[in-house]
Amino acid sequence: MTDTTAPDDAPRCSYCGEPFPTERLRALHRGLEHHERLDDDEREAFEDAYHDESEDLRSFRLRALAVLVALYFGFLMTYAVVAV
Amino acid sequence: MSRRGARVLGAVVGLVAVCGVAAAHGGSLRDASGQELAVPTWLFLSTGGAVVGASFLLASFVTDRAFVAAVHEWHRHVPAPRRVLAWVGHAVGLAGLVFVLLTGFVGPTEPLRNGAIVLVWVGWWAVFAMSTYLVGNSWPAVNPFRTLTRPVAWVLDGRDVALPPGRASWASTAFLLTLVWFEVVSPLADEPRMLAAAALGYLALSVVGVVAVGHDQWFEEVDPLSRLFAMYGSVAPLQRTDDGLELRLPAMRLTDDVVTTNGGVAFVVALVWGTTYDGFVGTPAWASFARSVVDAGVPAPVLYPAALLVGFLGFHRLYWWAARKARDVAPTYTDAAVLARRFAPSLLAIAAGYHLAHYLVYALSLSPSLFGALLAPLDPPVARTLVLPSWLSGVGVAAVLLGHLLAIWVAHATAYDELPGRLQAIRSQYTLTLVMVFYTMTSLWIIGQPAAEPPFL
């Protein structure tokens, strides 16, 4: 179920009509939900989108790791100073 | 080991110990636990919040769709004689109700020696409720009110005035909040006569409910206790399906459509808020607030339900804010209501964790009273409590932590199921994680407060 407030020019899935905020999400949706029915172009678009996303995920992981390390050492130091 | 290392270790052990004491207070039934914190409150609270936030970050490292789906879809069929089990359940439930009424009305009035009090609070509200989320929900079979009102349904003969599911779940939410209010303001845990009367009252309410909306809808959608155990039951590994019993990984059913209406979302929020409220009215902050408000001219009987309602509305708005915001942050055009319904069940794992943390120690320490009262209902032995090893409070801490970790994982798996993008799925949980952090910190704050008697009751 999708909200009716999606703009008219939003990319829509050609198989089920679901709107998406970006072309990439539409390509991913088509690859996941309608994989058997895709033509070659769409399949290629799905694979490209998937690889692009993997790149972004890698940089997200790095940032998440940085936050985890900061949290860990932040608390370590705080405990060392405050909880005597 | 260096001195600093030892100090840090000491602080962590101290925190775990504090959590242990604290968690033992977190469910219902205020009991005195005025413990001094080993660390400042703000640090204690932010550590709890950070644990939840960090577990979200850790879960976000798992981005393999096939793996996430395999974990949440794994299941095995369990052969079981369902008809026999149902009859055993009916018999146990009816025997329990008869026992509560008998010992409640004619048993000794000392709470811990009275069969009704210990069976209801220790046997049912602690142990049975634990079984619903640790094993599976057997309440539909056991529920004596359901069994006893069956003849009413025959008389009505299918004359059901069906309530729309959304309305039914809102009604259930209202009943649940009323039950929480009644439990907090009445001496149900101390007065057997009143408890037995309350059981009769509940039977009367069930009859009215069955007459109003029909047997099936009352017990499947409206009755707050049935809905409560059904919600807890969705955390359990054993699930009832159309083709028999099914074994799943714990909490993984929460990634299915457990909540299907906005009213269902409200019920889950009310369940979480009910636990919090029960602890909140036992804090000194509430006591002084209540006194100043009553001094200002607000009548005391209005104060408790008003606080219950205001807090519920606050939690409810906060949760919906998270769902709406998730839609923008992800970004997605999926309806905020769909996101709210799909993510709500993850909160149930947290609720189950808090319940276990509180009631495990409670149930074990009072188990001699339960056995005494069950074996000799009219003249039970002097109430004794079991002396428990101190490591058991560690099980409580583990339960709270495990509840949060399961909730984070369930939200993660649900987002992967609902949204096409992996990064989009992670981003959709930012606000929900914030809400979970807020909820954890609120609970920990209540837990860290010295216990006070709620005023004006």
Give residue B347's domain range. 3-448
Question: Cβ of A73: how many Cβ atoms within 10 Å?
Answer: 10
Q: Which residues contact B50 (CB under 8 A, 6 or more apart)?
A: A71, A75
Peptide bond into B299 cis (omega under 30): no
CB contact at 8 A, B143 and B219: yes
Write out chain A residues lying below 8 Å of B336, CB-based: 3
Is residue B49 over pLDDT 50?
yes
Instruction: Tell me if B453 is assigned to some domain.
Output: no
Q: What is the mean pLDDT of residues A50-72?
A: 94
Q: So what's the ipTM on this one?
A: 0.90
Question: Cβ of B86: how many Cβ atoms within 10 Å?
Answer: 15
Predicted pLDDT at B14 = 40
**What residues are paired with B78 via a beta bridge?**
B245
Is residue A1 over pLDDT 50?
no
Confidence bin at B48 (pLDDT 50/70/90): confident
In angstroms, rounded to a whole number, what is the distance separating the alpha carbons of residues B46 and B53?
Answer: 10
Is residue A60 over pLDDT 80?
yes
Which of A12, A38, A50, A79 has the highest number of chain B CBs within 10 A, making it the mutation to test binding with B?
Answer: A79
Predicted pLDDT at B15 = 40
Predicted pLDDT at A63 = 95
Spell out a b/e string for B292-313, using b for 16 or more CB atoms within 10 Å of the CB, else e: ebeeeeeeeeebbbebbeebbe
Confidence bin at B305 (pLDDT 50/70/90): very high
Confidence bin at B35 (pLDDT 50/70/90): very low
Question: Which whole-number Å values give the CA distances from B262 to B169, B221, B253, B315, B340, in the listed order?
Answer: 8, 13, 19, 14, 8
Is residue B280 over pLDDT 50?
yes
Instruction: Tell me if B105 is assigned to some domain.
Output: yes
Q: Which residues contact B46 (CB under 8 A, 6 or more apart)?
A: B441
pLDDT in tens, B107-139: 888 888 899 999 999 999 999 999 999 999 999
Verify whether the Cβ–Cβ distance B7 to A80 is below 8 Å: yes
> Shortest Cα distance from A82 to chain B (angstroms)?
8
Say whether residue B62 is in contact with chain A using an 8 A CB cutoff.
Answer: no
CB contact at 8 A, B362 and A50: no
Instruction: Tell me if B454 is assigned to some domain.
Output: no
Verify whether the Cβ–Cβ distance B420 to A32 is below 8 Å: yes
Q: Round the average pLDDT of chain A to a whole number and report it.
A: 88
pLDDT in tens, B12-27: 334 443 343 333 333 3
In angstroms, rounded to a whole number, what is the distance separating the alpha carbons of residues B228 and B230?
Answer: 5
Residue of B nearest to A57 (CA): B423
Confidence bin at B158 (pLDDT 50/70/90): low
In angstroms, rounded to a whole number, what is the distance separating the alpha carbons of residues B435 and B120?
Answer: 33
Confidence bin at A4 (pLDDT 50/70/90): low
pLDDT in tens, B395-453: 877 888 889 889 999 999 999 999 999 999 999 999 999 999 998 888 888 877 887 88
Verify whether the Cβ–Cβ distance A1 to B335 is below 8 Å: yes
Which of B2, B329, B418, B423 has the highest number of chain A CBs within 10 A, making it the mutation to test binding with A?
Answer: B423
Instruction: Tell me if B361 is assigned to some domain.
Output: yes
Q: Which two tokens stand for residue B456?
A: 């004006």
Tell if the pTM clears 0.80, that is, is over it.
Answer: yes
Nearest to B40 among A24, A33, A82 (CB): A82
Number of domains composing chain B: 1
Verify whether the Cβ–Cβ distance B38 to A24 is below 8 Å: no
Predicted pLDDT at B455 = 86
Q: Round the average pLDDT of chain B to a whole number and report it.
A: 87
Q: Which of A38-47, B7-16, B26-35 has the highest mean pLDDT?
A: A38-47
Q: Which two tokens stand for residue A78?
A: 């705080």
Verify whether the Cβ–Cβ distance A78 to B57 is below 8 Å: no
pLDDT in tens, B78-103: 988 889 999 999 999 999 999 999 99
Write out chain B residues lying below 8 Å of A28, CB-based: 420-421
pLDDT in tens, B222-261: 999 999 999 999 999 999 988 889 999 999 999 888 999 9
Predicted pLDDT at B37 = 53
Helix axes B300-329, B284-295, angle to 10 degrees: 120
Predicted pLDDT at B13 = 37
Instruction: Tell me if B365 is assigned to some domain.
Output: yes
Instruction: Tell me if B456 is assigned to some domain.
Output: no
